[in-house]
Amino acid sequence: MVGLDIDKVRASFPSLRSGYIYADNAGGSQTAQEVINRIVDYLSNTNVQLGADYSVGVQSSQRVADGSVAAALLFNAASVDEVGYGPSSTMLFENIARALDNDIKSGDEFIITEEHEANNGPWKRLAERRGAIVKYWRPVPAEEKNPYSLTYKTEDLVSIVTSKTRIVAISGCSNILGTINPVEASVKAVRQRAKEVGAPKVEVSVDCVAYAPHRKIDVQKWDIDYCVFAVYKIYGAHNAAFYIRSSALESSITSIAHHFLQVDGKPYKIQVGGPGYELVHGASGVVPYLLSLTPENNLDASFAAIAEHEQSLLDPLLSFLKDEKQYDRGVRVVGTSEIDLSRVPTVSFTVIGQKPIKSKDVVAAFDKKGGIGIRYGHFYAYSLIANAIPKLDINDGVVRISLVHYNTVEEVNKIVETLKEVLAQ
């Protein structure tokens, strides 16, 4: 397999020309030039309402339809009629949950992860509205020496499936722990257990907001019903995309769109307004950018090359943070410390011990030095920080350094050098 041409990669992102080190990519990636070009072109030349029969209107409609083709490819959906767009992942999950109101009954059970609130918040609110019961698939300690090292076990998920299980909502990747959950294996195990205990209808939702920048989504292979990712975290602009399996569109989802629109079996059932036409057309530029990364010109090869390069970024950062010297200093990696394909280069840590350092003070030291952007906090994984990770101040949270494939090893080394200065205090 041919590796990434990092110079070519970085040339695709105009913001990188400044030399600033963007290391808060889990909060939002930089935008590829191909996406920017399409947004500007749409607004400059085809900024009219959809559905018109005049020539510019036809072109505008086609450009927005191209966005659905791109989303279907990124999800590996069976049809463009299973995908759509909205303003954010939070809003899309909320719309899906609202549209399920009529298909949920009192006593149904939801299993969710205490992760990204965009995913679990709507299910908690749906449960409250309909009298359903919320159960949690919680992470467990992965390393005896480090209580902050947490991971999810499929057997723990399966153990809480019952005959009343209706919704299983999990994360494809933790935006705090950096761990990739084994979605395919977990869903297969859940469906097998649901069959054994006689659960009549189980639908699975996967939050891929923290997953999509690093690995290829495959909703068909995973055998899931709902999925969402944020386009602005996968090198696009500020919108999000959703997938709803056709069977769920037909039998589970009730339209929340305008009553006079004919949306039976269509993704428009959960779109309560326009999807942001220029942003949807812009999203159609994400696929050609990704395809350009390798000679094979397919998404599997591109994401394999991304994963390989990101391991080279993860290695120096995680090796430094988990080193015995830093452990004695009080550094605790929040999540597993393995340097392998089971995690992405989203690395969180805290500094405890005799000379603790608040997460906000670590970040403040970076800000004072300048040139590198990192963050601290709970990153909308509020419940995970509050309930699963020991002795963390929810208002201070963790330090998070999140890298993607346009970052370089040289940039990571600069981050590590700054960390050495901060931790030497």
The one-character DSSP state at 193 is H
3-class secondary-structure state, position 97 = helix
pLDDT in tens, 342-362: 999 999 999 999 999 999 999
Give residue 386's pLDDT band: very low, low, confident or very high (50, 70, 90).
confident
351 touches 423 (CB < 8 A): yes
Residue 45 has pLDDT above 60, yes or no: yes
Please give the average per-residue pLDDT across 178-185, as a whole number. 95
Q: Which residues touch 328 (CB under 8 Å, ≥6 apart)?
A: none
0.85 exceeded by the pTM?
yes
- Give Cα separations from 157 to 169, 238, 249, 369 (angstroms): 11, 33, 26, 44
Domains and CATH numbers, the chain: 6-30+297-423 (3.90.1150.10), 45-289 (3.40.640.10)
One-letter amino acid for residue 390 of the chain: P
Q: What is the pLDDT of residue 74?
A: 98
